[in-house]
Amino acid sequence: MSRIVVVTPWAPPSDGIARYSANLAREWLAAGHEVIVLAPPTTHSGEEELSGEVNVRRVVTRRTPWAALLDEIRPDHVVVQFAVPALRLAALGISALLRAATDRGIPTTVAYHEASRDVGRLRVLGRWLYRRVAAETRDAVAFVPREADILRAVGCHRVRVVPHGTRERERLDATAVRESYHLTEPFVMSFGYIHPHKSFETFIDALALMGEPVTALLAGSVRQRHGLFRLLGRVDEKYQAMLEGRIAALPSSVTLRRVGYLPDHDLRALLQSADVVAIPYRETSQSGVAAEVLANGSAIVAAEVPGLTDMLHDAAIYVTPGDAAGLAAAMNVLRHSAAQRETSCERALWWANEESFARTAASLIANAN
């Protein structure tokens, strides 16, 4: 079996890419591989993910001595989970890691999570950084075709599209969890980190247009940012304040529970018991939220944007981005039709099995370069 080094954010703190890497690590461990995680330093306390099963070394900075580290660890494969906000300034050192690995004949794979967003937001700096990393990338992975096109445009010559991956469903009794969030009535929900592109205002406005009493849950918090990325955090905080104003103006027919970060167990239990899960994004590269919704067999209404349609396939009812009336109508269809809810749930579970983390984990290390 192989010794796999994964360069990635790692919980704590928990975020989408840290969760993603933990799911892959579980699959590699189950297949008999050794997993070593190289992660950025953290100031957060708490037990590390997969403690005792994975060797976690928090050594990833912009000045990590990659050559010496690779000579010490002697990995069979290096997998990098690349996104600039997740790796922060350590992203500047990834090209040096890839070059050192190539010089030693070590296969490398770079999974690019947010290419369109990184290049779009960071502009000249983003294009420069991506070209720098692309020049050293021997095996580039995108999760949807649109992202693959962006990687080719910045200089990645060998790009594969690999399913994002979904984890196996664990059936949960949601009774106690629902009671703890005061969700004793049938409910609809939306969740995720608070960013403007998530278009949660469309979900909030849709609740007011459903034409009947409705209970809803909106879960999510502003992602913690560091360094230069605090500027993006301020945008998110202003957006969150706007959402709170929208919530305050909702009619009395809407009961909206507003909570922050949901623990993993609670999230899965609520996804399995919600009548409808809405993903109202204006744009996305790929979506850990979509993968989680598929894995839990939810009935889904989603905005018809690349990234979501690539991942959700025929499991969702699609609506025009920003169309609150259309979102309200689609949620009402699923709320009032048990047959359509069941069909959406069945298709979600089918795609979750078809694009499982087990398959994705195997694919990521299959193409030794």
Domain residue limits, the chain:
3-162, 175-354
Distance CA 270, CA 198 (A): 20
* Cβ 115 vs Cβ 285: under 8 Å: yes
Sheet containing strand 300-303, strands side by side: 254-259, 214-219, 187-191, 276-279, 300-303, 316-319
3-162 is a CATH 1.20.1340.10 domain: no
From 205, 283, 195, 207, select the one nearest 239 (Cα to Cα): 195
pLDDT exceeds cutoff 60 at 130 = yes
State percent of the chain over pLDDT 90. Answer: 82
Class of domain 175-354: alpha beta
Distance CA 252, CA 257 (A): 13
Confidence of residue 98 (pLDDT cuts 50, 70, 90): very high
Confidence of residue 268 (pLDDT cuts 50, 70, 90): very high
Q: What is the pLDDT of residue 274?
A: 98
Q: What is the pLDDT of residue 47?
A: 82
Distance CA 103, CA 268 (A): 43
pLDDT exceeds cutoff 60 at 368 = no
b/e sequence 337-364, b meaning 16+ C-beta within 10 Å: eeeebebbbebbbebbeebbbbbbbeeb
Q: Tell me the chain's radius of gyration from C-alpha atoms.
A: 21
* 153-185 confidence digits (pLDDT tens): 999 989 999 999 998 888 999 999 999 999 999
Q: What is the pLDDT of residue 229?
A: 64
Q: What's the rounded mean pLDDT across residues 127-136?
A: 96
Q: What is the pLDDT of residue 43?
A: 81
* Cβ 300 vs Cβ 316: under 8 Å: yes
* 291-307 confidence digits (pLDDT tens): 999 999 999 999 999 99
Q: What is the pLDDT of residue 85?
A: 84
Q: What is the pLDDT of residue 73?
A: 98
Confidence of residue 360 (pLDDT cuts 50, 70, 90): very high
74: tokens are 């002697």
pLDDT exceeds cutoff 60 at 369 = no
pTM confidence score: 0.88
Q: What is the pLDDT of residue 15?
A: 80
Higher pLDDT among residues 159 and 47, named by residue: 159
Distance CA 91, CA 69 (A): 17
* 211-254 confidence digits (pLDDT tens): 999 999 999 999 877 666 666 678 899 999 999 999 999 999 99
